[in-house]
Amino acid sequence: MALEDAIDPASQKRDMARSQLRKTGWAWAVGTWFGAGLLRPGPGTYGSVAAVLLWYAAAHFFHPGWAALAVGTAIAAALATAVGIPAATIVARESGREDPGFVVVDEVAGQWIALIAMRPDWRHALLALLLFRVFDIWKPWPVRRLEELPEGTGIMLDDVAAGVLALVCGLVLSRWV
């Protein structure tokens, strides 16, 4: 790039427009959880609700036993995390944002963690949803510290930790729900 291009505002606008056109399809699909993250207001809540609805639908369509549902949910959360880290990294880079709000695959992974040991009824699904959203928004220690990790790792792991906290609290509270 020539020196005059580096300081030319029109050149900078063209470069930004070109970078916005370059989107890695699979990463944006996974990162926004197939568009749930593009809904307003509260894209994180939409991502969490989508995760709960998928979990609930799978539990009632396949009728797995409690242990199979727990294992399947844990595997889904692990896969969402493993695929979500590179997807979130790519979307963050391509959007030019450190932690874009429309990336909600982290909420999906965290929400599934919160659901691992829940009974597949609406009361327990709602309990897990509310607990996860509280911990995800509040971000108590050590959840907030995980945001400091680089790129997609930080985007994903703070929600994974919020999911673990929600799971533990959900297990205690589910005795009375």
Rounded Cα–Cα distance for residues 45 and 29 (Å):
17
For the chain, what percent of residues have pLDDT higher than 90? 84
What's the confidence (pLDDT) of residue 44? 97
pLDDT band at residue 94 using 50, 70 and 90 as cut-offs: very high
Own/partner long-range contacts of 12-17 (Cβ < 8 Å, ≥24 apart): 16/96
Helix ranges (H only) for 8-65 are: 9-21, 25-31, 43-62
Give the residue extent of every domain in the chain.
35-173
pLDDT band at residue 175 using 50, 70 and 90 as cut-offs: confident
pLDDT, one tens digit per residue, over 67-86 is 999 999 999 999 999 999 99
What's the confidence (pLDDT) of residue 4? 43
pLDDT, one tens digit per residue, over 97-107 is 999 999 999 99
CB-side exposure of 139: number of CA atoms within 13 Å?
14
Show Cβ contacts of residue 16 under 8 Å, excluding neighbours closer than 6 positions: 96
Rounded Cα–Cα distance for residues 174 and 49 (Å):
19
CB 91 within 8 A of CB 28: yes
Rounded Cα–Cα distance for residues 9 and 16 (Å):
11
- The whole-number average pLDDT for the span 5-11 is 53
